[in-house]
């Protein structure tokens, strides 16, 4: 999975499986012992990356605190995951827009993110995005997060500042 992540980041989704196998230090045939097809590999990787991202975002999450504190906790954890795992973030972005990821895999990934989805829905329904569709609200939230991540990665000396400002803008947009 790590080799596939690195290859996707450097060569894109069209990279041959032989390149992924070589990066992993295994024969091309060995790769297909674990994954029937390249699509299967990509779907498993997508699920692994989404699950890891969600687990990181929810680490130490406390349901009992107020909505803003919950949102900031998840935001901070998500930003830390992204800045600590830039290759995973980039591979996930490519896989996320790929036609290779099946609806079943996307649905499974959504289930692993159920607690995040509940939090986002609470923010959406109680804030300025209450009249927006879930998809539109999620796209706006994700755009603000992606921009914040980019600045944190490209300006690490000010990463904490970017994280806080990004969250403030995010919070104002949704509250």
Average of per-residue pLDDT across 98-120:
91
Given a cut of 80, is residue 125 above it in pLDDT? yes
How are the residues of the chain apportioned to helix, strand and coil, as percentages rounded to the nearest 5?
80, 0, 20
Is residue 111 within 8 Å of residue 28, measured between CB atoms? no
Q: What angle do CA 113, 159, 61 make, to 5 degrees?
A: 30
Assign a CATH topology to domain 2-174: Tetracycline Repressor; domain 2 (1.10.357)
pTM of the model: 0.90
Given a cut of 80, is residue 64 above it in pLDDT? no
Which phi and psi angles does 135 have, rounded to 5°? -65, -45
């Amino acid at each position: 999975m790590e080799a596939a992540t690195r290859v996707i980041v450097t060569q894109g989704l069209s990279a041959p499986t032989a390149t992924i196998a070589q990066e992993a230090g295994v024969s091309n045939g060995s790769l297909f012992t674990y994954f029937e097809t390249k699509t299967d590999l990509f779907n498993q990787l997508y699920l692994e990356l989404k699950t890891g991202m969600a687990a990181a975002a929810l680490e130490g999450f406390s349901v009992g605190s107020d909505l803003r504190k919950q949102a900031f906790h998840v935001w901070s954890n998500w930003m830390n995951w992204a800045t600590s795992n830039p290759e995973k973030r980039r591979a996930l972005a490519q896989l996320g827009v790929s036609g290779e990821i099946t609806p079943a895999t996307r649905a499974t990934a959504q289930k692993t993110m159920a607690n995040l989805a509940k939090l986002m829905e609470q923010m959406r329904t109680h804030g300025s995005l209450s009249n927006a569709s879930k998809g539109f609200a999620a796209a706006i939230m994700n755009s603000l997060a992606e921009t914040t991540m980019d600045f944190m990665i490209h300006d690490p000396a000010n990463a904490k500042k970017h994280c806080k400002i990004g969250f403030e803008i995010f919070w104002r947009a949704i509250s």
